[in-house]
Amino acid sequence: MTWTPDPSIIITAEQKAGAQQEHAWATLRAERDRLFEETRWLVERHTEELLLGRATTLSASEYADLLAYRQDLRDLPENTIDAAEVVWPEKPEV
């Protein structure tokens, strides 16, 4: 009797590469989300200061830089060809 592998449990090289690629994209998104959350409080503070009619801690240009950075983070998956070779946007000094 000859053993025949069950094709439903065989992982091909393509499947393995696909799983690795999925993991790389998930890792990218997790890091992107962490970096995005890292700046959420700055946006909230600025918005609250404006709503209260108070002077803002961030200047208008600092706030614009922060918003641009956050948008670059949002756009990262669409602007990245290879999840293993990510070019992260530079966080502004605020």
pLDDT tens digits, residue range 19-78? 888 999 999 999 999 999 999 999 999 999 999 999 999 999 999 999 999 999 999 999
- Rounded to the nearest 5 degrees, what angle is found at the Cα of 24, between the Cα atoms of 20 and 30? 140
On whether residue 33 sits in a domain, the answer given is: no
**Per-residue confidence (pLDDT) for residue 19, from 0 to 100:** 82
On whether residue 62 sits in a domain, the answer given is: yes
**Per-residue confidence (pLDDT) for residue 4, from 0 to 100:** 76
DSSP of 1-40, one letter per residue? ------GGGPPPHHHHHHHHHHHHHHHHHHHHHHHHHHTH
pTM beyond 0.85, yes or no: no
On whether residue 35 sits in a domain, the answer given is: no
Q: In angstroms, rounded to a whole number, what is the distance separating the alpha carbons of residues 81 and 11?
A: 25
On whether residue 28 sits in a domain, the answer given is: no
**Per-residue confidence (pLDDT) for residue 27, from 0 to 100:** 95
On whether residue 36 sits in a domain, the answer given is: no
**Per-residue confidence (pLDDT) for residue 31, from 0 to 100:** 97
Confidence of residue 94 (pLDDT cuts 50, 70, 90): confident
Average pLDDT, integer, range 74-89: 94
Residue holding tokens 């025949």? 4
Q: Is the pLDDT of residue 13 over 80?
A: no
- For the chain, the domain total comes to 1
